[in-house]
Chains A and B, each alone.
Chain A
């Protein structure tokens, strides 16, 4: 079966750095997305990785290793507004999106 694993919940301190991991076992790979979702709201696009390596976009960076079936989202200089769930999703060989359950990130002052 297809599976995406993310930690259920993480806690970090305002101003610090946090890394949210995502591992996947899917039938093929055609890209990986990270989305941010505040409670009761729509997910919003953060990043897309299809090649190995690090993609940096402001305070957020996303890394991919296709050989290890692994990605992480790195958030720097954490702000209280970063408290949200972070969803990892993989495009499989049939171009279907497979979603992880999401990681709830709690930021403490």
Chain B
């Protein structure tokens, strides 16, 4: 089935630890995005990539890093510099007639 796979569903981070969230897609979309969702707030853009080997910072990139070595994959690393990482993280691709977003099922990251 075509779609976006995010893993893991739940992730726990210890103090000072880096963690990586996986996002894989087989929709053949060029554009991929990482969003952070906190209760009571709109989705906030962390990073996005329009093409392989290229990515841009979004509104809240500090404390995060990404790579785009393959069209299908756009992993997000939450570094120890991100002091408040607890949130729901959503990966998305864009495609179709109106470039609507297709979302993965999300990863809930919590701090131990």
Contact = CB atoms under 8 A, between A and B. Distances in A.
Interface string B25-47: 00000000000000011111100
B108 A8 contact: no
Most buried by B among A43, A44, A100: A43
Contacts of B101: 33, 35, 43, 45, 97
B100 interface: yes
Interface residues of B, number: 18
Nearest to A41: B105
Contacts of B88: 40
Contacts, number: 45
Contacts of B102: 45
Interface string A29-44: 0010101000011111
Interface in B68-93: 88, 90
Question: From DSSP, what is the main secondary structure of chain B's interface residues?
Answer: strand
Interface residues of A, number: 22
Contacts of A41: 105-106
A8 B42 contact: no
A15 to B, nearest CB: 29
Interface of B: 4, 40-45, 88, 90, 98, 100-106, 108
